[in-house]
Structure 1
Amino acid sequence: MMRGSGASKDGGAMVTVADIIALPAFTRVEPIAPCEGAERREVRNVGILDCPPDYNEYSVYKPGELILTNLGFAYGNPDLAEKSLLAMMRRDVAAIAIKTVYEPPISDAVRAASEACGVPLYLYDGAYHETVAYQSLALIQRDRDELDKGRALDELMVAHDGDRVRMRLSSLVGVTGSKLQCFAFALRAGDTCSFYAMLDSVSLAMAGGGGLRKEFPAIESVGVCRYREHILAFVSYSSANEEERSAAEERCLAVAAQEAGLYGGASETMHLSDGDLAIRQALAAVASAQRQGRRLVRWADLHLASFAIAARHDRLFMSASELHRSKLAAYDEGHGTELVRTAEALVGRHGDVKAVADELHQHPNTVRYRMRKMKAVLGIAREDDKALVNLLSLVFLPDLAIG
């Protein structure tokens, strides 16, 4: 009985059944029974099944493993094949791939169990089990390495240090140069395509064969890696003139927008030492692209929403916002008023009292009375209405709808 080394990971494994069956060792893969979410199941290890479940009901195999077999040990015995496959499904393995060497017998009971318990079964043609296992375990190791890069990027963004950012990005993704732009990609919802197939596609489009670099000398380096559930591409620019760098940037954006099956977000171009900010911008932009169903969103496209996003990531700003908000909320709770709701409407209507009154179905004088009350509660009773609206715009900035 051959099994791969343990490949369990902390923090969100990304290798899925879709990733595995997309490997070149598989030449044809056919699902045996419908199984919802089959290709999204995580694969933590690989095992080769070459014996019946006589010893401890296959306890040596662990949940999350991809099982490879040709059922040769059953010698064409349909009862033994059925018993073995049902026992393996009870282990909650990730999937079972059966090589079509001996025309393996698959019973109706096995098909029904696969559909019921969610463990997919596949018939496949392709390489020997050892080759499939080798490629699968190599992918799992690659995933582990990419996860390590993600942790390193997390550390980068905890506390900004320009020199450290520059050196770490150079070591992680090989980017150099004076200016940097980050692109973030996310799979479209419900897309069962292999994450790593998309990672390779982005790598080929952005960095493969030095195509962009050959076309635009202003591009000094390109690096691609995984960051959590995203793909990040880093494009660095040399100290070329602004016209050359702008043309190269537009070409990169066009390439990014062509990636089928992906949402994209692009940061602004900034100094390499501010690469952590570029990552944050790209991630915020791709999140907006997902919400809006747009192929690609640039950080600059977010306009006012970019300030809302920035505010949410600043603890001091959020503390000041919560302080003022809590004063209004506490007054509402104690007096049965609607100062918070009115304040939000004032921000949304840019201080237009009549528009706020229409929205709240109140008389404009009622809105003005509430504004006076807000100023008293917030300790700015002597300020004019414009100053109040300016303050409320900052207090409620983190709540701004962004897509």
Structure 2
Amino acid sequence: MVAMIRLKELLELPIFQNFRLVAGLTGLSREVRNVDILEYEWMSRNFDVFHPDDLVLTSLFFAKDDPSLIQKSFEKLAARAVTAIAVKTVFYTEMPEDVLAFCDAHDLPLFLFDGAFMEDIIVNFNDVLKLQQSHLQSEQQIHDLLALLAPARSPYAVEAAVREINPAFQSYVTAFYLIHRRYPGSPREVAAFLARTTYKQYSGQALDNVTYRKYQNGLLVLYTSRERELPSAPEVLCQRLLSRYDTRLEEFYCGSSETLPTFRALPTAIQQSIDACQMARETEASTSYGGLGIHRLLFPMSRDETLRAIAREAVGILKAYDEKYTSNLLDTCRAYTAHHGEISKTAAALYQHPNTIRYRLKKAESLLEPVIGKEDVYEQLYFLLRLYDLGR
């Protein structure tokens, strides 16, 4: 696992606040693995020191008396597939038009900046990269732990993996999984929270029995105690754990697990919290695993590849028909199950006549007969559509 950070995320760090993009806008999604300085390499012609995914900093000292050297050096850097170039405005406050055109043509982001020292930029980047590497390693630990959910798991393997995460864990665990409401597809806010846990002003807030980890795009909070009964309601407890680092629960979708034996069932607790969080995103309210009802059966089924294949087949049949005939069978089936099989409510929701809904459902039923048969059509539609949505 090699840590990298996207260029556009790197630019959000305070030390990059004076960076001004002047060319290569389309390259901002590139990743940065290293930050290096170009100053004397032009004299030695040694551009082999630069590598793909480098962010190259330079003052263009070597070109201060000859602007034609700027593009020549950039051509060599582009040939090395560097991610971006940032010029400190010591000798040049603007770039020649041919250089800007070259960077645009090669999707090579070009920045101008002032104020920041190049060495400080490198130190800041390396600190972020170390944190990213730490996140990757801890995320792999959680991934490996969840793999122990398999029926043939060894209880000794589970306990060893749990103690590797935190040897100070106590007897019972409640897991919380949180996804940021405003940025659900990005781990940025999670990374910011985890960074705060390392700040000196919060050093007295740490609890040995609690662990905070990034997992996928979410924050995993593992609370352990000697007693099975929680000191407060799960939502209240999670808010208290977050507030230690000046973070509000309202910023997140939150799912909580049951309280389970730590050294035997931590993988189960983690998966329960992830499932509950997925439901929290649908309902817009913090959700505990114990309140999932039938979804406690549906979530494990949604991870069964055989069942997922059946659900994909059914949805695929409806999608193919809709695309070919510009119809709305899939949307109608979704509305039908969402309104508990009531034709009148389905028709009202879709602004259609009830007979139109009946016709569409009959058509869907005939198309799906090879997959679901003729019996219990509503129940099977609900089941397959939910499996399809949960398994995406």
Q: CA deviation at 1:166?
A: 4.3
> In 2 relative to 1, CA 342–256 (structure 1 residues): closer, same or farther, beyond 3 Å?
farther
Of residues 115, 121, 124, the one that matches 2:111 is: 121
Q: CA deviation at 1:171?
A: 1.8
> In 2 relative to 1, CA 107–258 (structure 1 residues): closer, same or farther, beyond 3 Å?
same
1:91-240 to structure 2, matched below 5 A, reads 91-100=80-89, 102-109=90-97, 110-115=99-104, 117-129=107-119, 132-160=121-149, 161=153, 163-172=156-165, 176-177=169-170, 178-186=172-180, 188=183, 196-201=191-196, 203=197, 208-211=202-205, 213=207, 221-239=209-227
CA distance in 2, matches of 1:363, 1:185: 37
Give the aligned partner of residue 70 of structure 1. 59
> In 2 relative to 1, CA 227–344 (structure 1 residues): closer, same or farther, beyond 3 Å?
closer
Partner amino acid, structure 2, of 1:148: Q
Secondary structure of 1:209's partner? Answer: helix
CA distance in 2, matches of 1:29, 1:400: 43
Give the aligned partner of residue 268 of structure 2. 277
CA distance in 1, matches of 2:185, 2:385: 34
Q: CA deviation at 1:45?
A: 2.0
Q: What stretches of structure 1 of length at least 5 have no aligned partner?
A: 1-8, 214-219, 333-337, 382-386
Secondary structure of 2:5's partner? Answer: coil
CA distance in 2, matches of 1:163, 1:343: 47
Partner amino acid, structure 2, of 1:239: E
User: For this pair of structures, how many residues does the alignment match?
Assistant: 367
Secondary structure of 1:170's partner? Answer: helix
CA distance in 2, matches of 1:370, 1:99: 63
- Pairwise CA RMSD: 5.1
CA distance in 2, matches of 1:47, 1:369: 63
Q: CA deviation at 1:33?
A: 1.6
Q: What stretches of structure 2 of length at least 5 have no aligned partner?
A: 322-327
> In 2 relative to 1, CA 315–125 (structure 1 residues): closer, same or farther, beyond 3 Å?
same
> In 2 relative to 1, CA 174–36 (structure 1 residues): closer, same or farther, beyond 3 Å?
farther
The answer to whether the Cα contact below 8 Å between 2:148 and 2:267 also exists between their aligned partners in 1 is no
The answer to whether the Cα contact below 8 Å between 2:39 and 2:61 also exists between their aligned partners in 1 is yes
1:305-324 to structure 2, matched below 5 A, reads 308-315=298-305, 317-318=307-308
CA distance in 2, matches of 1:315, 1:77: 63
> In 2 relative to 1, CA 113–279 (structure 1 residues): closer, same or farther, beyond 3 Å?
farther
Give the aligned partner of residue 40 of structure 2. 51
CA distance in 2, matches of 1:165, 1:251: 28
Of residues 69, 72, 79, the one that matches 2:68 is: 79
TM-score, normalization by structure 1: 0.66
Residue identity over aligned pairs, in percent, reads 17
Secondary structure of 1:126's partner? Answer: coil
Give the aligned partner of residue 6 of structure 1. none
Give the aligned partner of residue 16 of structure 1. 6
CA distance in 1, matches of 2:86, 2:250: 26
CA distance in 2, matches of 1:172, 1:89: 42
> Aligned pair 1:361/2:363, yes or no?
no
Give the aligned partner of residue 61 of structure 1. 50
The answer to whether the Cα contact below 8 Å between 1:188 and 1:262 also exists between their aligned partners in 2 is no
CA distance in 1, matches of 2:257, 2:50: 48
Of the structure 1 ranges 364-373 and 351-360, higher mean CA displacement relative to structure 2 is found in 364-373
